[in-house]
Amino acid sequence: MAIPKIMGILNVTPDSFSDGGQFDSTASACSQAEALVVSGADIIDIGGESTRPFAKPVTVREELNRVIPAISAIRSAFSIPLSIDTTKAEVARQALAAGANIINDISALRKDPAMLPLVQETSVPVIMMHMQGTPGDMQVNPQYDDVIDDIITFFKERLAWLQENGVALHRITLDPGIGFGKSLNHNLSILKHLAAFKALGCPLLLGHSRKGFIGDITGLQVEDRDLPTAVVSALSCAAKVDIIRVHNVAATYQALQMTTAIQDAE
């Protein structure tokens, strides 16, 4: 069984829910990038705007000031693929010019009308996430008729729209959006039924690292949630998740090593 790729999270923000303020200088970002590479990351996801619940948006200029120096410095030091975590087309455009290889848009190309033309004129992979609402209001009583069916319907509509606009679906990775407009039970249902999203024919990304639902179940503070994060990562292998996005790459790498070794045994 193939080991899923591990996407290491690098937030160059002052206010992200887990590591805000830890890597918001170019030097600290480069140091963390090196640690992620050494730990076994296959991709580094760089974000300059917090998308935690109730986060306030930042301007294009501020986001560029955060991410571009980090991307440029990391690209000069490492050949690892870099993704830019943004909903802003101009940030994505400049990030690609600075050395990023992937666009990771939590709005599924809905927030900025200029994102579609950018995707059309490039050939880079694109990650599209499901989110109910916005970071500012998404955790205010999220409701679904059927969370799995509703997300699948959303993805089918987005994929059809991309095809209508000439974007090849082999470029698209889907992210069901754990914690983005989801209750505890919604998140657990998504994790239980990950294989349903694979049926859409696109690679699947899982981003559950240190999120609130883990605290709801375990009572652990954010900084203590790496063990249950790794457990969820291991369990997701059964659904053939393609990319796992985490803060602690080493813990997830070890969990995936053990899981795949057991599954591959005779």
Residue 128, both tokens:
């599209």
Placement of tokens 């069984």 in the chain = 1
| pLDDT band at 15; cut points 50, 70, 90 | low
pLDDT over 80 at 261, yes or no:
yes
* Average pLDDT of the chain to the nearest whole number: 92
Active site residue 111: no
Identify the active-site residue in 52, 93, 171, 245: 245
| pLDDT band at 19; cut points 50, 70, 90 | low
Looking at residues 143-172, what average pLDDT do you find?
Answer: 97
Looking at residues 62-67, what average pLDDT do you find?
Answer: 94
| Number of domains comprising the chain | 1
- 4-8, 18-22, 140-144 — most confident range: 4-8
Across-strand partners of 172? Answer: 126
pLDDT recorded at residue 85: 97
Active site residue 88: no
Percent of the chain with pLDDT over 70: 92
pLDDT over 60 at 21, yes or no:
no
* DSSP, residue by residue, the chain: -PPPEEEEEEE--S--TTTTTTS-SHHHHHHHHHHHHHHT-SEEEEESS--STTPPP--HHHHHHHHHHHHHHHHHH--S-EEEE-S-HHHHHHHHHHT--EEEETTTT-S-TTHHHHHHH----EEEE--SS-TTTTTSS---SSHHHHHHHHHHHHHHHHHHTT--GGGEEEE--TTSS--HHHHHHHHHTHHHHHTTSS-BEE--TT-HHHHHHH---GGG-HHHHHHHHHHHGGGT-SEEEES-HHHHHHHHHHHHHHHH--
Identify the active-site residue in 93, 171, 211, 225: 211
Domain of 211? 5-264
pLDDT in tens, 75-111: 999 999 999 999 999 999 999 999 999 999 999 999 9
pLDDT recorded at residue 71: 96
Looking at residues 194-216, what average pLDDT do you find?
Answer: 96
- Distance CA(184)–CA(186), nearest Å, equals 5
Kindly report the CATH number assigned to the domain that includes residue 255.
Answer: 3.20.20.20
Torsion of CA 129, 132, 138, 139, to 10 degrees: -100
